[in-house]
Amino acid sequence: MVQSPASPKPFRLWPFVFIAVVVGVAAIGFAYTAGWLSPHRLTPKKLVAALAPPGGPALGHRRNHAKGICFTGIFEANGDGSALSKAPVFVRGQYPIVGRFNLGTPNPNAEDAMVRVRGVGILITTPDGQQWRSAMINAPIFPVSNPQAFYDLLTASASKDPDAMKNFIAANPGFLTFLPWAKSDQWTESYAEEPYNSLNSFLFVDESGTKHPVRWSLIPAAQPVSISPQELAKRGPDYLEQEITQRVAAGPQHWNLMVTVAYPGDPTADPNKAWPADRRTINVGTMTVQQIEPEPNGPCRDINYDPTVLPAGITTSDDPFPAARSAAYSRSYNSRTAEEADYPRTATGARQ
Amino acid sequence: MTTTRTRFTAPQRLLHWLMAVCILSMLFIGVGMVSTVTTKYLTLVQIHKPLGIAILVLALIRLTLRLIYGSPALPADLPEPLKLAAISSQYIFYILMIAMPLIGWAMLSAAAYPVVLFGGVHLPPILPVSASLHTLLWRAHHYLAFAFFAVILAHVAGILFHKLVRNDGIFETMAPVLTHDHPESK
C-alpha cells in the first residue's frame, strides 16, 4: 500500500488539523503554566508592583527596604549550633559577612522617623563557598500569616475605599496583634540597638538527618536607648545612617545570634504567631559589624538577600513566606539591576 | 556530514528523546516558576538549575556523537526550502541547547548567586558580579526561552508534516522504534 513518491498525492485535510491541534494544545499548556490564562494568580510581578508607592517604584533601588547602608564584618561561630545543624557556618570559627542595614520602605529617600520597620540583611560565606543569606526585621511578629494576606494588606493600604482596611482586618484578625508594636513610640536611636528577627521558620538539619524547626534572632550587645519618632525626626532624615557610620568607626558593634527551637505543634507555618517565650534558645555565635560603607558603591548593593539561599544543613520549612520572598526578591533584583543608570555608583551620584 | 544509515544511531535516538523530555520540562518549569509565589517556586527553581546543567552535559555528548556518527541523508526529492529549514533548525537546536544552560549559569554568576546543584554541591561562578552583564544575560535567557519553545513547536509541526503528509522517512530517522510503513531507503 506504499504510494509511489512520484505519483501525485490527493490532498488530505486531517493531517493539518491534527498538527494544528497538537501545536495548539502545547501552546495553551505553556500559556497556562506561564499564568497568562490565570489573571487571579498571585505572581511575583503583582506582589512587587503592590509594594510600589503611587508614583511608581524608585528606579535602581530595591522594591522594598529601599533605604539602606552596607557593612562588612564577621560571624564568629561558637560551635554550639552544630548540635542542631550540620551547616559549616556553625563550626567554631570566623566567617566573613556582607550585610546591609535598612528601613522597611519602598522609598530610598524616606525620613528615618517615618519608618517603623528596620531590618538587616546578612550574607555569611564559609570557606567551602556555601552561603547563608538572611533578611530580618526588628518587628517581633510579622503583620500577616501568608503571602496572599500580605498582598491584600498592601492593596488595602493603598486603596481609596474607606472600608478597605476594616475589611482587611476582618479577614485577617491576626493583624491586630502586630499593631501594639507598630504603633508604639518606643523606638531606638540606632541600627546598633535593634534586635533583628527571622520571623520565618526554617529547619536545621543535624548530622543524623534530624530536622529541628527553628527561628533566629540577632540580639544587640548595645543597650537600647528609647526615643520617640518625634525626637528622632529632630535629629534629621538620615540620622540612622550617620549614627551607625560614626558608631562603627568608633568601635565594632556586636549581636548574638540566638536560635529558638520549636516544640512539636508550635506554629511554624505562620510568622504572625509568636512561639511561647519558654522555648529553648541557643546562642550559636556573634555577629560583629566592623565597617560601614555607603550603598551606591558598597559591597551589599548587588546582593539579593534572598532568605532561601541556605547552606546544606538549613532548609525551608512549611512557612510559606521564604518561597514568596525569594520569588519577589528575584523580580526586584532583575528590575533594579537593569536600572543601574537611575542609581549611579559614583560617590557624586550618591544620596546624601 | 551524512552517512548511508537511514536512521540515527541508537545512542543518538535515545539522547534525542531523553533531551526532548528534559528540555520541554525545563521550559515549562522556567515559565511556571517565575509566575508563582507559592512554595512550588522553590521546588521548581531547585529542579531548574541541576536540570539545566544536565541538559548542557547531554547536549555536549550529543554533539560529539553527531560529529562521530553524522546523520542520515535527507530525501533527495525534498524541496529546497524544506531542506534549508531542516538543516538550519538543527543548528538552532544545538546552539540553544548549549547556550541556554551557559547563559543561565553565567547569569547567576553575574548576580552573585551560588549555583547550587543539590545539597552542598555547587558550581563555581563563570563571570564576575556585574549588574549590566546580569541584565544582558537575564534578558537573553528570558527571550531565548520563548524562542526555544517556538522552535520546538515548529519542529513538532514540521516532523508531523513529514510523517503525515509527505511520509518521506525523516520521521523514521529519529523514531524510537521502527514503524511498519518505514519506506525503503534509496
A60 touches B: beta carbon within 8 Å? no
Which positions of A are annotated as active-site residues? 65
- Its domain, for residue A208, covers 54-345
Contact A217/A195 with Cβ under 8 angstroms? yes
- pLDDT higher than threshold 50 for residue B102: yes
Q: Locate cell 543597650: which residue? A: A223
- pLDDT higher than threshold 90 for residue B106: yes
**Inside any domain, residue A32:** no
**Inside any domain, residue B52:** yes
- pLDDT higher than threshold 80 for residue B137: yes
B157 touches A: beta carbon within 8 Å? yes
Report how far residue A111's alpha carbon sits from residue B105's, in angstroms, rounded to the nearest whole number. Answer: 39
Instruction: Label residue B57 exposed, middle or buried (CB < 10 Å: 0-12, 13-18, 19+).
Output: exposed
**Inside any domain, residue B101:** yes
**Inside any domain, residue B186:** no
- pLDDT higher than threshold 50 for residue A226: yes
Report how far residue A260's alpha carbon sits from residue A237's, in angstroms, rounded to the nearest whole number. Answer: 35
A40 touches B: beta carbon within 8 Å? no
**Inside any domain, residue B120:** yes
**Inside any domain, residue A15:** no
Partner B, chain A 83-122, Cβ-Cβ below 8 Å: none
Percent of chain B topping pLDDT 70: 94
- Please tell me the predicted confidence (pLDDT) of residue A265: 95
**Inside any domain, residue B180:** no
- Please tell me the predicted confidence (pLDDT) of residue B179: 64
**Inside any domain, residue A168:** yes
Closest CA to B72 of B15, B13, B14, B21: B13
- Please tell me the predicted confidence (pLDDT) of residue A184: 96
- Please tell me the predicted confidence (pLDDT) of residue B1: 55
**Mean pLDDT across chain B:** 92
Under 8 Å CB-to-CB from A222, ≥6 apart: which residues? A190, A192, A193, A253, A254
Q: Which helix (H) or strand (E) holds A214?
A: strand A211-220
**Inside any domain, residue B185:** no
**Inside any domain, residue A176:** yes
Tell me: the pLDDT tens digits for A79-125? 999 999 999 999 999 999 999 999 999 999 999 999 999 999 999 99
Q: How many domains does chain A have?
A: 1
Residue of A nearest to B183 (CA): A2
- Its domain, for residue B8, covers 2-174
CA dihedral B38, B40, B46, B52 (to 10 degrees): -110
**Inside any domain, residue A301:** yes
- pLDDT higher than threshold 60 for residue A315: yes
Tell me: the pLDDT tens digits for A275-299? 999 999 999 999 999 999 999 999 9
**Inside any domain, residue B164:** yes
Report how far residue A250's alpha carbon sits from residue A322's, in angstroms, rounded to the nearest whole number. Answer: 36
Percent of chain A topping pLDDT 90: 94
B112 touches A: beta carbon within 8 Å? yes
Tell me: the pLDDT tens digits for A250-269? 999 999 999 999 999 999 99
DSSP-derived 3-state class of residue A29: helix
CATH number at residue B89: 1.20.950
Q: How many domains does chain B have?
A: 1
Partners of residue B107 in chain A, C-beta under 8 Å: none
Report how far residue A66's alpha carbon sits from residue A109's, in angstroms, rounded to the nearest whole number. Answer: 8
**Inside any domain, residue B18:** yes
- Please tell me the predicted confidence (pLDDT) of residue B129: 96
What is the grid cell recorded at A73?
Answer: 564584618
Tell me: the pLDDT tens digits for B146-181? 999 999 999 999 999 999 999 999 999 999 877 655
CATH number at residue A269: 2.40.180.10
- Please tell me the predicted confidence (pLDDT) of residue A351: 44
The question of ipTM being above 0.85 is answered as yes
Partners of residue A43 in chain B, C-beta under 8 Å: 34-37
Q: How far is CA A113 from the centre of its chain?
A: 22
**Inside any domain, residue A9:** no
**Inside any domain, residue A118:** yes
Residue A329, annotated ligand binder?
Answer: yes
> Do A320 and B168 make contact, defined as CB atoms within 8 angstroms?
no
Tell me: the pLDDT tens digits for A147-177? 999 999 999 999 999 999 999 999 999 999 9
- Please tell me the predicted confidence (pLDDT) of residue A320: 98
